[in-house]
Chains A and B, each alone.
Chain A
Amino acid sequence: MTMLGDRERLSYIASQAADARLNVELETEGMTLNIGPQHPATHGTLRIICRLDGEQVVWAEPSAGYMHRGYEKLTEVRTFPQVTSLVNRIDWLGSFANEVPFILAAEKLMDIEAPPRAQHIRTILFELSRIANVSLFLGDLGVQLGAITPVFMAFRDREYVLNLIEGATGGRFHPNFDRIGGLKDDVPKGWIDETRSVMKKLRTFCDEIEDLLFGNEIFQSRTRGIGVIPKDVALQYGLSGANLRASGVEYDLRRDQKIAMAWDKIDFKVWTHPDGDSFARCWIRLQETREATLIVEKLLDTLPAGPVMAKVPRIIKVPEGEAWVSTENPLGEMGYYVISKGDLGPFRVKIRSASFNNISIVPWLLRGVYVPDVITILASLYFILGDIDR
């Protein structure tokens, strides 16, 4: 620059300025897109703030809490038996599965165990609520990707499962059926045969969905290779359930831990998929629905006789102590950390819900994808808003 005369220097600066101006003019301005809180793709009130460059997401962050209902705090002013009616509403599609880990934690503190028949029926209802939950996912998946028909098939066949849950518990959505020390009632007469026939129908439904949706070329091109989560990233973000197994990690709490449930009495397959993409996550859920129908049938075959309630005092006081129990819920690992001070109600309850951890990977996963793939990824991660916000 020092060698140049004033004229050259001025023209150089002018040309630099012109270049800069050109760059500013050509550079497209980013756009911030708020997906949510009210948006058809978020199953409720999740808000995802996306910074877009064209249709590409450069930065995304989920903003949860629009549906926070304060269940952890509310449990502190309830007695132990009353808590089940609250935690029912965390994952509202698989309600019964929410009750079980809390009841197991309370039983652990009181050092009692439900009788074998109660454990069996608990496990059956647990798997039924898994089917009710995941079959809705399989239908909703189509809607998110633009196929409007599968959702009606899902609702049609989910109805049978809800009828079964209603038949046994009296509540379709919120059974409130699990008790400390066992179950409220035995299953009604004829329920077992009915369950067997419904499980056959559900397997037909799984076949239909596999043909119609998973075999569709457009569906495959929309989901394969989209939102790939490698094994180590999945573990680091604390994913659980089908999202983790789709990344190739063989981890299923039904098989891997010893709790007072009937899963260890039977054999079942834990499905994994090496890919870790959206297709793998959906495929794992489909296989698990089918596997769950088989589990229910096997459990019905080995259903023992006996009482469904252990001896528990009329007024339940849980002794002082702390307990952590988690189970493999439809959405992933769900656990309760219960602290009791020996009162009628818990002193403090920490709820570890699966969806909250599962969506923590969203900022990492959404970086660099296109807006249509945001929907695919959110649908395949499968969260329920009540389960995120509690």
Chain B
Amino acid sequence: MLLALDLPYWAQSLLRVLGGLVAVLLPAGTIVYVFLFKMMSFMQSRLGPMEAGPYGSMQLFAEVGKWLQKEDIMPEKADHSIFRIAPLIVLASTFLLVVVVPFGPDAWFTNFETGVFYALAVSSVSVLGILIAGWSSANKYSLLGGLRAAGQLIAYELPMVLAVVGVVIQAGTMNMQQIVVAQNAGEIFGWNGLGNPYILTQFIGFGVFMIAVQAELTQAPFDMPIAESELVSGYMTEYSGFRFLIFFIAEFATAGVFALIASVLFLGGWGVPFSWFGWHSIGEVSNWMNVVGPLIMFSKMMGLVFLIMWIRFSYPRFREDQLQRFAWKVLIPVSLVNIMLTAVLKVVF
């Protein structure tokens, strides 16, 4: 039930659809303005956009307006129908991903028993979109970029899954909502003042997960598929106007959604430590958490995206073979060791 109100089914569905739009587009817009426009500028001793709106806050709307009214250009030899579908597939994977993220005790889209499994599965749908975007553009740079992206995303899917396995073992469930509850109702050696956010026990998993997220988002130092100084813009080279806009939204919305998932898995999600208010299970959680929960999620997301963007603006990029080597020779063994340790400690305690 949504927000504990007695709404008819169609109204609940409508609310969920609108909520999904907000949950994808609002983080995307905020991330672009706060981090891409402003934080990046301050790191580079400049001001960023200042003209559109107070302190440049309307810049994003100006940009969207510009993109929407651009001519729809398509290469002559491109595979037209596939070329049109590709950005939509990439954006769709973002929407599919946000579906399982819980924002409050009742504020969820679907309460899926195998939510973690589903999230990891649909996150790889975007590979398909990127690959066909690169292939259908009939451009050599796009092709190279698309193939690089496919290799990279598949390689980093694995450490991501393995990093999450530790959390799943510790929580004993794949349901995202129950993972949140397990963290906030948990205790550290009998002290329950902070709950038990899994970042404390799964810090290796958290590190591996964030690195894999960085690579899944194809952001520096893993931005070899885009590599603007050699491949012009990788698989996005031939896209302009609103098709580029869709890629652009998808990129930053996915950053937001992955940060949401990371905050659910490692930072306690929407919850506050239950002991603060004397709650013991999800049934006792007050209704106002449905309003406060999304705000808590949002602030945790901003914190994690700050990390992602900070690294993006600071590092040069790996070469393709170097980043493959990093995934297979460093991240995967480390996360396998993490799984083993978690399993052993789970049995011991």
Contact = CB atoms under 8 A, between A and B. Distances in A.
Interface of A: 31, 33, 35, 39-41, 55, 142-149, 152-153, 156, 213, 216, 218-219, 221-222, 370-375
B44 interface: yes
Given A146-B220, A373-B319, A375-B229, 16 more contacts: A35-B230, A40-B228, A41-B229, A41-B230, A146-B315, A147-B314, A149-B44, A149-B314, A153-B45, A216-B316, A218-B316, A218-B318, A222-B317, A222-B318, A370-B321, A372-B320
Contact of B229 (A31, A55, A143, A156): A143
Most chain A Cβ neighbours within 10 Å, of B46, B224, B230 = B230
Contacts of B232: 39-40
B290 to A, nearest CB: 40
A221 B330 CA distance: 16
Given A39-B232, A144-B229, A149-B44, A222 B316 contact: yes
Contact of A147 (B46, B224, B230, B315): B315
Interface string B3-22: 00000000000000000000
B229 A40 contact: yes
B217 to A, nearest CB: 14
Contacts of A41: 229-230
A218 B229 contact: no
Contacts of A35: 230
A40 B227 CA distance: 10
Interface of B: 40, 43-46, 140-141, 144, 220-221, 223-224, 227-232, 313-322
B45 A370 contact: no
A146 B322 CA distance: 14
Nearest to A38: B232
B234 to A, nearest CB: 12
A36 to B, nearest CB: 11
Given A40-B232, A146-B221, A374-B230, A218 B45 contact: no
Given A146-B220, A152-B46, A218 B315 contact: yes
A142 B220 CA distance: 12
Interface of A is mostly: helix
Most chain B Cβ neighbours within 10 Å, of A146, A153, A370 = A146
A168 to B, nearest CB: 26
Given A40-B228, A143-B229, A372-B320, A156 B45 contact: yes
Contacts of B231: 371
B44 A147 contact: no
B319 A372 contact: yes
Contacts of A144: 229
A143 B318 CA distance: 13
7 contacts: A142-B316, A146-B220, A146-B227, A152-B44, A213-B316, A218-B315, A370-B321
B223 to A, nearest CB: 6
Contacts of A149: 43-44, 313-314
A146 B221 CA distance: 7
A55 B148 CA distance: 10
A342 B318 CA distance: 59
Given A146-B221, A156-B45, A218 B317 contact: yes
Contact of B45 (A152, A222, A374, A375): A152
Given A31-B140, A152-B44, A372-B224, A221 B322 contact: yes
Nearest to B147: A55
Nearest to B221: A218
B210 to A, nearest CB: 17
Contacts of B314: 147, 149
Most chain A Cβ neighbours within 10 Å, of B227, B316, B319 = B316
Most chain B Cβ neighbours within 10 Å, of A35, A143, A148, A219 = A148
